[in-house]
Amino acid sequence: MPPPAPRPKPVAFLTGGTGFVGSHLAEELLRRGYAVRALVRRDPKWLEGLPVEIVSGDLHDTDALAAGVDGAALVAHVAGLTRARSQAELDRANVDGTRAVLDAVRDATEAGGAAPRVLVTSSLEAMGPNRIGPDGRPEPATEADVPQPVSMYGLSKARMEDAVRRDYVGLDVTVVRPPAVYGPREADLYEMAKGAARGLFPVVGREDVPRVSMVFVRDLVRGMADLAETDAARGETYFVGTPGSSWAEVRAALEAALGRTTVTLRVPGAVIGAVGALAERVGGLVGKLPPLTQDKAEAARHAWVCSSEKAREAVGYAPEVGLVEGWAETVAWYRARGWL
């Protein structure tokens, strides 16, 4: 008797797979036995060389999205815009783009296809910054808090979440809100590493209390995939991050990774907006938005710490990579590719 034919791998359709977080999620899904299908506009970038099926198109290409979701067991929507010059640009990418993906899922399901699990990537910025307690320490954000975004990007993600909850109740959607993410291939926090390599470490606000939940990318995508595979996460929203670090701890981890000391450059919160506006104006001269726009500068004035307790209860999530280990690997990657 011939051996039974191997069972086909479940298909995961991924948007944003050419980016930093998306490419790591693609690797995690491949590791878990999925056949990964990715939406790609032009350049496969970090997907180059991976056994990934390419679907050519973008978030506003209905035919490409229909092809992507066809037969998928999981739809992981990671694509989005993190900075732009206007709220309209961010909303078109993050709100309308998400709607287009979920419309494609709903159309495929209504046409008789099996309903896939859907993972939608939001952000801690959708919630807004932390409240500061009487002791000067931030109160970590939880999923029960009322969103109060302070940036255009955060508002676009909050609007996206509202649309998901209001208009796509019948779909099996899980929303994940990552905090600041770092690791190999990351290009925004890289600017902080590049400054530290030159001996400067800018700090806004207090240096000695938790100010940022900074999650290593492999911890994040592991948590995302775990949540996408558990029934308990259907219809739920989760922070997937770390308990929070002070800028002093981040600086120490970077100094250890770089093998050098840095000088703290204290930036008053009252002037960070002007710094962002200037950087944005200079970037406009070369047709490129810098990582620190005026919008991002507004966010930098605040503390961004979240609790991942809900994810821990759902799937046992806990970060495995600490700042020292994570930044050591990240800096080594930057150096290996000539970024530092």
Distance from C-alpha of 169 to C-alpha of 68, rounded to nearest angstrom = 21
- Chain-centroid distance of CA 196 in Å reads 23
- Listed in order, strand segments (DSSP E) in the chain are 11-15, 35-40, 53-56, 74-77, 117-121, 131-132, 138-139, 172-177, 180-182, 200-203, 214-216, 237-239, 263-266
Q: How far is CA 123 from CA 145, 158, 163, 181, in A?
A: 14, 9, 15, 10
| β-pair partners for 336 | none
Tell me whether residue 312 is exposed, middle or buried, using C-beta atoms within 10 angstroms of its C-beta: 0 to 12, 13 to 18, 19 or more.
middle
Q: Report how far apart, in Å, the C-alpha atoms of 213 and of each of 60, 135, 243, 279, 324 are.
A: 32, 19, 6, 25, 14
Are the C-beta atoms of residues 56 and 43 closer than 8 Å to each other?
no
Residue 150: how many other CB atoms lie within 10 Å: 15
Beta strands 138-139 and 131-132: pairing type? Answer: antiparallel
CA 152 – CA 126 distance, rounded (Å): 10
* Contacts of 18 by beta carbon, 8 Å cutoff, 6+ apart: 38, 40, 41, 43, 44, 45, 46, 47
Number of H helices and E strands in the chain, helices first, is 12, 13
- What is the rounded CA–CA span in Å between residue 206 and residue 153? 24
Question: Strand 11-15's sheet: what is its strand order?
Answer: 53-56, 35-40, 11-15, 74-77, 117-121, 172-177, 237-239
Catalytic positions: 153
